[in-house]
Structure 1
Amino acid sequence: MAKSKSLPLIAVEQDALPATLTPAELQWAKANGFTGQRGRLLALPGEGGALAGQLFGLGQATDRPALLLGQAAAALEPGKYRLSGSFGDPTLAALAFRLGAYRFDRYRKPRDPVVLEPVEGADAAEVNRLAAAAYLARDLINTPANDLGPDALEQEIRAFGKRHKLDVKVIAGDELLKQNFPMIHAVGRAAAEAPRLVEFSWGKAKDPKVTLVGKGVTFDTGGLDIKPSAGMLLMKKDMGGAANVLGLAHAIIDAGLRVRLRVLIPIVENAISGPAFRPGDILRARNGSTVEIGNTDAEGRLILGDALALADEESPDLIVDMATLTGAARSALGPDLPPLYSTDDALARELMAAGALSDDPLWQMPLWAPYDAMLSSKIADVNNAGASAFAGSITAALFLKRFVKRAKAWVHLDIYGWAPEAKPGRPFGGTDQGVRAVYGYLKQRYS
């Protein structure tokens, strides 16, 4: 894009047209019925038919999404803009714009970008790292499985490691059995590309241990309990937990938080072929427990179980896992509000507060112990799905909790990783969830 002079993007609160507008601009706004209505964009005509700028309505302060300026970025024509008016916190405003300007153009002709000049008072480094974290997660989720199978996702993580000068370790194929990751192996062994566990660490050994675990199912057919065709349409996003964990890791590393970060990403494709694991099989997990397979489509919790058991062995201060785990979570809270489960209620409240500040909402759900009976098995320690259709997100979290015994605190986020319709700061498609909330909490505690 050729260098050009930036255009003003003037944020206007409801019924508060700025006095800096010229008489002609004020008359134009009134003639078009523009009063600062939330989300409304109005082009200002300049001399000779040129564009003089854009007005963007913020609406009432009591009814304003924190990332509202992202809606402007999504609607603006390509070009360079400078922000003025009453836009509130400059860092959040600049971040909202960047998040709204995201486009996934890998498979179509890219259009010129929508660019915002640095906003006075904004923390540019913070804006850049959080935008990069979101873009990383979104790009990975949006990439279809034919271009992002287990091999390609491993290479993406290796490239991430190279950028951050990290040593990436991989345990793949039958080596998973030799090193005692039987459930990761079982879920992924039917695919053309081998299952694997990818790991990297960063930070000083003496610092508090924070471990992130991300579900990396690059495509989920449901296995032998096969999904209907409609149920597979979005299954490229079943590695959304891994994508968001990578985005979060980028933010933590880029900010230099005082933690010893460990990232574990089990990667599989839940495919169908002769070696596929079956309903009724009994798997022995890394922690020694036996798992009866009630449904091969409840595969994410199996690979997470082995990874969580490994994470737990060093008794970290905090384990956070992210996973596109259950449809029940969407039935309970919809696509925009991920359930949060934690062994520490005070920590859960702090995470929700951090999410509220950055428009990355989470909602605590209970680890309701009586529901653990729904996972009972007559021939094994636990069933991976259980017989009841009730409380699916809670029982999935209870299943995972069995693999965490030594960590001081554990958090499970049952994310959707997808925006079914565009929202301010969240264009349609693969999306980041939980990244800013967890990062905000960690930054407050460990910066």
Structure 2
Amino acid sequence: MSSSVNVFLTLDKPAAFLKQSALVSHSDQGVNVHVGSDSVENLRKIQKAGRHLDGQGYASVQLAGAGWDMESQWAFYQGFNSTMSDNTVAWNETDEGVASQLDDMRAANQFTRELVNLSAEEIYPLSLAERVSEHLKSIAPENVSARFIVGDELKNEGWMGIYTVGRASQHAPVLAVIDYNPTGDENAPVDYALVGKGITYDSGGYSIKPSEGMLSMKCDMGGAATLAGALSTAIRRGLNKRVKLFLCCAENMISGKAYKLGDIITYKNGLRVEVVNTDAEGRLVLADGLMAAGEAGAKQVIDAATLTGAAQMAVGNEFNAVFSIDEQAAALALNCAAQENELLWRLPLATWHMENTPSPFADCANSRPQKGGGAGGASNAAGFLLRFAPNDGQGWLHFDLAGAYQKSSTPMWAAGATAMGARTIAATLLAD
């Protein structure tokens, strides 16, 4: 007896005794997924069918018969992927090349999801940096090097955002600099810098979160994990550009050493920032990463973060949000998202958004002293980051990852990490 059930795509309507809206039906040959003529909607149906079969207790499937292209197989895998089990999907056997690409995508996806889903006891700043470095070195050992700036070294080198946010934790904060350089030339220019928010746990600090809001905050390093997955995917697809990955890693905790409301952080570039909300810590650490990207001379910069609840209010958990004042860079990101079948929406950002977090005591504040940062909170957060973006924001993309984590299961996703955004960013890196 086979250890897997065959799953087929069919244009046939469900049998008369079933609801005509039924996604799946069963036959002697296996399971049928009922699709239609709309290719985009079919991907949603197929992913939902994967969730449905996981919910019914299936653990191993073979994608069989005609109609399974790469995107439909990937949609099923994303739905069938379950947080608490080891479900397996055998790819359709008609195209070995597609199966090989899907294997690479699955490896990067599983790595990203595991990083986000593990508890903060297992993923803390240094362990996050080490796991990402080891993973990338396992793919391209000759082309990857890493440096970790840890604890007081951050203060000594001027990386005051990461140091300040992370100094209250028993786990020292870290700025990880991971260099993928396939050129063999140590003086080669950096084509892209990737800057990831790596808050491995976020209590909110003295602007403490309620218990239910804190429960999922192991996911607040989703930006770092997403960029690691994107770089892993791009390397597997043959990336030949030099890319530096900056992971801004800290735990935002409370102790006698914790930073406080009203404190002023003086950054390496001389900018002074008043802290009006210790739960708006992601932008404080990303500021260091963006300045580091500038020091590296990167031509293009992408940051990614689970940054604001305001972005989720705007686009829901089905989309990620992107911000840029560079029209060409924004268009490229949106085109890559469409190419990779990931949902991405551009939200407003203008240079005047930099003025939307004023302070009477410093050059600016890290937020507004209102719940969620007030109206336009996601754009105002992006405006804060624009103050630190190299090249006055030209060539810079900011991803607010509203869809990176599901607090509970949905018809499309299991609870936990989705890794949504990694494919888009990988495609952006690979674009000419």
Query: What is the TM-score of this pair, normalised by structure 2?
Result: 0.89
Partner in structure 1 of residue 210 of structure 2: 228
* Alignment match of 2:248 (pick from 259, 262, 266): 266
For the pair 1:43 / 2:26, whether they are aligned, the reply is yes
Q: Judging changes above 3 Å, is the alpha-carbon distance between structure 1 residues 404 and 42 closer, same or farther for their aligned structure 2 residues?
A: same
Deviation at 1:287, TM superposition (A): 1.7
Partner in structure 1 of residue 72 of structure 2: 93
Amino acid at match of 2:129: E
Note the residue ranges of structure 1 that are not aligned, 5 or more in a row.
18-28, 46-51
Deviation at 1:117, TM superposition (A): 4.0
Query: Aligned partners of 2:190 and 2:99: how far apart in 1?
Result: 27
- The share of aligned pairs that are identical, in percent, is 31
1:333-344 equivalences under 5 Å are 333-344=315-326
For the pair 1:171 / 2:142, whether they are aligned, the reply is no
Amino acid at match of 1:53: G
Note the residue ranges of structure 2 that are not aligned, 5 or more in a row.
none
1:36-435 equivalences under 5 Å are 37=21, 40-45=23-28, 52-61=29-38, 64-66=41-43, 68-76=45-53, 77-87=58-68, 90-105=69-84, 110=85, 113-120=88-95, 123-164=98-139, 165=141, 166-203=144-181, 204=183, 205=185, 206=188, 209-387=191-369, 389-406=374-391, 408-416=394-402, 417-420=404-407, 422=409, 426-435=413-422
Query: Aligned partners of 2:376 and 2:89: how far apart in 1?
Result: 43
Alignment deviations for residues 59-108 of structure 1 (CA, whole Å, 9 cap, x no partner): 44166153543333334323341322444xx1112222332332233xxx
Alignment deviations for residues 237-269 of structure 1 (CA, whole Å, 9 cap, x no partner): 101001101100101111122211110001100
Query: Aligned partners of 1:227 and 1:411: how far apart in 2?
Result: 28
Alignment deviations for residues 392-447 of structure 1 (CA, whole Å, 9 cap, x no partner): 100100100111132740000011321245457632211112111222233342xx
Amino acid at match of 1:72: A
Give me the CA root mean square deviation: 2.3
Query: Aligned partners of 1:274 and 1:208: how far apart in 2?
Result: 40
Query: Aligned partners of 1:6 and 1:194: how far apart in 2?
Result: 46
Q: Secondary structure at the match of 1:123?
A: helix
Deviation at 1:183, TM superposition (A): 1.3
Please say which of residues 187-196 and 370-379 is displaced more in the overlay: 370-379
Amino acid at match of 1:93: S
CA contact (8 A) 1:170 1:198 kept: yes
Deviation at 1:353, TM superposition (A): 2.3
CA contact (8 A) 1:11 1:84 kept: yes
Alignment deviations for residues 125-175 of structure 1 (CA, whole Å, 9 cap, x no partner): 322222222222211111111221223223312321431322221000101
Query: Aligned partners of 2:262 and 2:42: how far apart in 1?
Result: 47
Amino acid at match of 2:15: K
Amino acid at match of 2:428: Y
Q: Judging changes above 3 Å, is the alpha-carbon distance between structure 1 residues 337 and 112 closer, same or farther for their aligned structure 2 residues?
A: closer
Deviation at 1:324, TM superposition (A): 0.5
Query: Aligned partners of 2:255 and 2:339: how far apart in 1?
Result: 47
Query: What is the TM-score of this pair, normalised by structure 1?
Result: 0.86
